[in-house]
């Protein structure tokens, strides 16, 4: 049985949000980062998970954090122009 715990969530845009869940499956722990469509009907208040996302073993969290920090640093140091090239 899959166990799931919501860690955090934030809006991606007006229609979608990103949810970060800690999951356990067959005795192993994973972190799941997924795009969810916000509920907009009166029948259900539950958001709907999409296929857009990433599931990683919790052992890879340090590498993920390091990669995101590198991405943040790259964005701050070398903005990308409209053609997709970095600006020197």
- pLDDT 10s digits, 24-77: 999 999 999 999 998 776 566 788 999 999 999 999 999 999 999 999 998 888
b/e per residue 56-87 (b: at least 16 CB within 10 A): eeeeeeeeeeeeeeeeeeeeeeeeeeeeeeee
Whole-model pTM: value is 0.76
Distance between alpha carbon 31 and the CA centroid of its chain, in Å? 9
pLDDT of residue 45: 76
Q: Which domains does the chain have, with CATH numbers?
A: 3-77 (2.30.31.10)
What tokens appear for 49 in the block? 């998970």
Task: Name which of 81, 61, 80 is nearest 71 in CA terms.
Answer: 80
Give the whole-angstrom CA distance, residue 45 versus residue 16: 14
């Amino acid at each position: 049985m899959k166990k799931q715990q919501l860690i955090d969530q934030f809006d991606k845009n007006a229609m979608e949000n990103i949810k970060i869940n800690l999951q356990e499956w067959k005795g192993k722990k994973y972190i799941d980062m997924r795009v969810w469509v916000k509920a907009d009907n009166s029948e259900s208040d539950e958001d709907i998970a999409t296929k857009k996302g990433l599931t990683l073993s919790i052992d890879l969290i340090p590498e993920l954090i390091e990669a995101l920090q590198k991405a943040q640093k790259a964005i701050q140091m070398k903005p990308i122009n409209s053609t997709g090239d970095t600006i020197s």
